[in-house]
A = this chain, B = another copy of it.
C-alpha cells in the first residue's frame, strides 16, 4: 500500500485523484487545497486548506500551477519526506530541498468533466534517489502501463514537443474553424478528417503520413489557397508551414 496526499486540486491532481481512488493498493490520505473544494467530489477523503494540518504519507503530489510549485513546496511544514510535482515544464530542483524531491508527470491534456483512461498515459518519473524512483514507478504502475524514468532536461524537451502536437495542433483546428465560420460552413464537416489524421499516426510515421499540396510541390493549388485566405494570420501560417513542408520533401 502506498499512501498519498494531494497538494492542490486542479485539473491534473483531480484526474490523478480519480485514478488512484480506483487503485486497490493506493491510499489517498488527504486532499489539501488553498481554497475550499466541493466535498462531494472527494468521496469521503479528508480535506484541509491549512498547511499545518497536512497528514503523513509516503508521497505528496503537488498539482498547482507551474509558478506556484516552488512556493507551495516551501510552505510544507515537514522535511525529509517525498514531495513530487506533476509538471512537464518545471525542473525537479525547483522543489524545496528540505524534502526528498521527485516528479510524477502524466503526459496528457486534461479537461474538466472529461474522464481519461490512465492505462495508456505515459507517466514520466524522476527522483533524487533510487529508492524514491522505485516507489514512484510502483505508484505510476498502479494506474498506467507506460512508465518512463525521465530526467528534467529530457522532460523539458518532451514538454516542448508536446506543445507542438497539442497546443499548436489545436490552433490549426482553430484556424480551420475560423476559415469555415467566415464562409458559414459547418466545422462538423472536418471532424472525421481530424480524427483520421490523428489515427494515421498510430501506424505511420509523421513523415510517411504527410500529404497535401506543399508536399507534392503543387504550386497551382498553393497559390489558389493563398488567394482564398482573407485572414492575414491564416495566410502567414499557410506560407510559413507550406515552405517548411516543401523544403522537407524536396
Minimum Cβ distance to chain B for residue A103 (Å) = 15
A195-208 Cβ-contact flags toward B at 8 Å (1 or 0) = 11111111111110
A185 & B163 in contact (Cβ 8 Å cutoff) = no
Minimum Cβ distance to chain B for residue A88 (Å) = 10
Chain A binding surface SS class = helix
Number of chain A residues whose Cβ lies closer than 8 Å to a Cβ of chain B:
88
Give the segment of A32-40, A45-53, A77-85, A230-238 that binds chain B.
A230-238
Give the segment of A18-26, A55-63, A134-142, A153-161 that binds chain B.
A153-161
**Which residues of chain B are within 8 angstroms of A202 by Cβ–Cβ distance?**
191, 195
- Residue A192 contacts which of B120, B187, B205, B238 (CB distance < 8 angstroms)? B120
Minimum Cβ distance to chain B for residue A198 (Å) = 4
A215-250 Cβ-contact flags toward B at 8 Å (1 or 0) = 100101100110011000110111011001100100
**CB nearest neighbor in B for A117:** B192
**CB nearest neighbor in B for A212:** B167
- Residue A108 contacts which of B174, B175, B196 (CB distance < 8 angstroms)? B196
Question: Is A170 interfacial (CB-CB < 8 Å)?
Answer: yes
**CB nearest neighbor in B for A183:** B157
Question: Is A193 interfacial (CB-CB < 8 Å)?
Answer: yes
With A157-B185, A191-B202, A197-B109 as known contacts, state yes or no: A210 contacts B172, CB within 8 Å. Answer: no
In the assembled complex, the Cα of A220 lies from the Cα of B70 at a distance in Å of 14
A63-93 Cβ-contact flags toward B at 8 Å (1 or 0) = 0001100000000000000000000010000
Q: Which residues of A contact B (CB under 8 A)?
A: 66-67, 89, 107-109, 111, 114, 116, 120-122, 124, 146, 148, 154, 156-177, 179-180, 182-183, 185, 187-207, 209-215, 218, 220-221, 224-225, 228-229, 233-234, 236-238, 240-241, 244-245, 248
22 residue pairs A–B, Cβ–Cβ below 8 Å: A66-B218, A89-B213, A107-B193, A109-B197, A146-B189, A146-B192, A159-B225, A161-B175, A164-B175, A164-B234, A165-B190, A166-B194, A167-B215, A168-B241, A169-B172, A170-B197, A170-B200, A172-B172, A173-B201, A191-B201, A191-B202, A195-B202
